[in-house]
Amino acid sequence: MDFWNVMSYLAWIISGALLFWIVFDAIKVSKEYDEDYLLSSREGEDLLLDEEKGNG
Amino acid sequence: MANGASEVAVEGGGNKRLQLLKVLGPVHVWALGVGIVLVGEFMGWNFSVGKGGALGSLIACWFIGLLYTCVAMIDSEVTSTVAAAGGQYAQAKHIIGPLMAFNVALYLVLAYTMLEAADALVVGDLISTVAAQTGHEGLDPKPFVLLTIAVLAWLNYRGVFMTLSVNFVITAIAFLSIVVLFFATEPWIQGKVLQHGELLDGLPYGWIGVVAALQFGMWYYLGIEGTCQAVEECRSPRRALPLGTITGIVTLLIAATLTWYVSSGLLPWEYLGQSGVPLYDTARVLGSPALSGLLFLGTILAAVASANGCINDASRAWFSLGRDRYMPAWFGAVHPRYRTPFRSIIFLIPIAVSFAFTGLLDQVITFSILSGLLGYTFMTINIVKFRRQWPLGSIDRGYVHPMHPLPMIALLTLCVATYFATFLGYGSTLLATMSFYIIASVWFHFRRYPFVERGSQFTMPWPRPLGY
């Protein structure tokens, strides 16, 4: 097995490990946190906060 | 509420909300825009030489440069006001309406995902080429394509600050490699290295060749509008977005002109017009192994930076669709620790990999370019409506583009010319692309829009439009 064959196998293994980690973390986060909280982002939230502060 | 929530949540109206992290400055915006585009200087632009000759390519370079300067100015004005992820999608939603917004988001997601696939394919092919030069013929590029996408997706998943800081470094190295190549040709002594006097011989296919070259002239700048996707994550969007975008287009105009000048002064147009890696080939002509190595590194880094920026942009556009329920709300989730649109990033990985594994670089790139062109056409309608509905002084703008409506008229004219050029070279792809978006629009209108919560998609505290 030459250098490039080793590199190919390494590329497969590292890619697999990274993708596995991403999916594993996403599943963990989805179980750990409330879905409403994960989906709570709103467009322009900071502008609304600025307005509220300005009015307050 | 689960662990760690308090340290990442944003208080708003008594509720704790997760928002994308606001950590980016003008440098990151520059890195995103130039990073996506610069690979076009290392490959692709030179097909315009094949269509219109070296001088025809220069005309296309500057003509299309004008188109993109208009794009950058218009985008800077609107996006510095609509500071929301999704960029042009959010603009379309607020200014035109849901159907246009859906289409624009689709252009963005497909254009960037396909460009990401093409970039990863380029990295894989370049590694295979190196393997062949060192005696290993027929190396399969697939593991390296997958590795490129996996590493960049992982980086994007872990946070936007590191993602775009890395992009800044690799984009700057790639840009500097072009500058080094330029000075290595000693351009101050005309005729010593560069042979423009002998190599430039007019327009081989006349003016119709120049028109045909326009489509590939887009490669010099395609993607600079991607800066808009970062706006929700900027610390000061009104300052960072216009500054990063305008310095980005200036950088690209310089890079494009240097690239054309050096390559057309060293390589005959017949060869340049079909080269796979024109800047690398130009460096090889000079006979310096160090310079060739630098340009090879520049080519790989430019492709990686482009793929990295594309993952960032495609995921923000998809995330915005999910957040507004234009797609399943599940995609609108924000990672509580890294504050990235993690589900959108994951969802787009297999799509990019499958595009890349087909190996159909030409078709993928053409579809991506056409999607971009549709997006630019939308911008002309968008800016006219924006100025009418919210005239100057009625809403706080971070940047006001000069000479309105001249940039809009110039942009529309150039879009029409580029559609014609695309029709000349890729008529069937153009029709297939248009058909795809029409079918998608019909699906959205009848099957998806009924699920959209119409009121909740407009949370931006804007004044009512004029005449409302």
d(CA B416, CA B223): 19
Phi-psi group of B396: left, alpha or beta (phi > 0 → left; psi -120 to 50 → alpha; rest → beta)? beta
**Which amino acid type is present at position B188?**
W
Note the Cα B73 to chain centre separation in Å.
15
Interface contact B102, partner A, CB < 8 A? no
Mean pLDDT of B307-328: 96
Residue indicated by tokens 């520049």:
B298
pLDDT for B8 beyond 70 = no
Residue B465 in this model has a pLDDT that exceeds 50: yes
- Phi first, then psi, for residue B88 (nearest 5°) are -60, -25
pLDDT band at A26 (very low <50, low <70, confident <90, very high): very high
C-alpha span between B225 and B372 (Å, rounded): 9
Please, which pLDDT band fits residue B5 given cuts at 50, 70 and 90?
very low
Q: How far is residue B466's CA from residue B468's CA, in Å, rounded to a whole number?
A: 6
**Chain A residues with CB inside 8 Å of B139's CB?**
4, 8
Q: Tell me the torsion sign for CA atoms A33, A37, A42, A47.
A: negative
Q: Measured between beta carbons, which residues in chain A are less than 8 angstroms from residue B19?
A: 41-42, 45-46
- Of the two residues A44 and B256, the one the predictor is more confident about is B256
CB < 8 Å to A49, chain B: 10-12
Residue B227 in 3-state DSSP?
Answer: helix
Chain B hits for A13, Cβ within 8 Å = none
Say how many domains are in chain A.
Answer: 1
User: In B, which residues are within 8 Å of A4 by CB distance?
Assistant: 131, 134, 136, 139
Q: What was the pLDDT predicted at B215?
A: 84
Contact B334 A41 (CB under 8 A): yes
Work out the average pLDDT over B19-41. Answer: 96
Distance from CA of B348 to the nearest CA of A (A): 12
CB contact under 8 A, A8 and B84: no
Confidence of residue B466 (pLDDT cuts 50, 70, 90): confident
The span from the CA of A16 to the CA of A13, in Å, is 5
Structural domain of residue A20, as residue ranges?
3-55
pLDDT tens-digit map of B449-458: 888 877 777 7
Q: Do residues B316 and B229 lie in contact, with contact meaning Cβ atoms separated by under 8 Å? A: yes
Distance from CA of A29 to the nearest CA of B (A): 8
Phi, psi (5° rounding) for residue B346? Answer: -65, -45
State the Cα–Cα distance between residues B172 and B208, nearest whole angstrom: 36
CA distance B301 to B173: 8
Mean per-residue pLDDT, B168-178: 98
Q: What is the pLDDT, as a whole number, of residue B36?
A: 96
Confirm or reject contact between B320 and chain A (CB < 8 A).
Answer: yes
* C-alpha span between B422 and B366 (Å, rounded): 9
DSSP-derived 3-state class of residue B149: helix
The beta-carbon neighbor of B19 closest among A9, A19, A45 is A45
> Using an 8 Å Cβ cutoff, are B26 and A49 in contact?
no
From CA B255, how far away is CA B176, in angstroms rounded? 9
Over residues B123-150, the pLDDT tens digits come to 999 999 889 988 988 899 999 999 999 9
Q: Which string of DSSP letters, residue by residue, matches B123-147? A: HHHHHHHHHHHTT-TT--SHHHHHH
The conformation of residue B334, written as its DSSP 8-state character, comes to -
Residues 391-450 of B with CB under 8 A from A: none
Of B150, B337, B459, the CB nearest to A15: B150
Residue B1 has pLDDT above 60, yes or no: no
**CA distance linking residue A39 with residue B242, whole number of Å:** 29
Is the torsion defined by CA of B15, B18, B19, B21 positive or negative? Answer: positive
- Would you call B337 an interface residue with chain A, using a CB distance cutoff of 8 Å? yes
Q: Which helix (H) or strand (E) holds B289?
A: helix B289-323
Residue B245 above 80 pLDDT?
Answer: yes
Residue A49: the pLDDT is 56
Burial readout B301-331 (b: 16 or more C-beta within 10 A, e: otherwise)? bbbbbbbbbbbbbbbbbbbbbbbbbbbebeb
- The answer to whether residue B242 scores a pLDDT higher than 80 is yes
The sign of the torsion formed by the CA atoms of B233, B235, B237, B243 equals negative
Q: Which single residue is written with the structure tokens 């002109």? A: B257
Q: How many CB pairs under 8 A join A and B?
A: 132
Q: A47 pLDDT band (50/70/90 cuts)?
A: low
Q: Considering only B3-12, B199-208, B211-220, B422-431, which range has the smallest mean pLDDT?
A: B3-12
Please name the residue ranges forming H helices in B38-141: 39-42, 47-79, 88-95, 98-133
Residues with Cβ within 8 Å of residue B208, at least 6 apart in sequence: none
Residues 6+ apart with CB under 8 A from B102: B321, B326, B440, B441, B444, B448, B449
Chain A positions touching B140 (Cβ under 8 A) are: 8
With an 8 Å Cβ cutoff, is B131 touching chain A?
A: yes
Rg (CA), chain A: 22
Instruction: Please say whether the beta carbons of B173 and B35 come within 8 A.
Output: no
Mean pLDDT for the stretch of residues B263-277: 93
Chain A residues in contact with chain B using a Cβ-Cβ cutoff of 8 Å: 2-5, 8-9, 11-12, 14-16, 18-19, 21-23, 25-26, 29-30, 32-35, 37-49, 51-52
End-to-end CA distance of chain A: 71
Distance, CA of B344 to chain centre? 18
Question: Is-contact B224 B68, C-beta < 8 A?
Answer: yes
Per-residue pLDDT averaged across B185-192, rounded?
90
CA distances from B210 to B51, B173, B196, B205, B238 (A): 7, 32, 19, 8, 38
Residues 145-204 of B with CB under 8 A from A: 146-147, 149-151, 153-154, 157
Dmax (CA) for chain A in angstroms is 71
Residue B180 tokens, joined: 């080094």
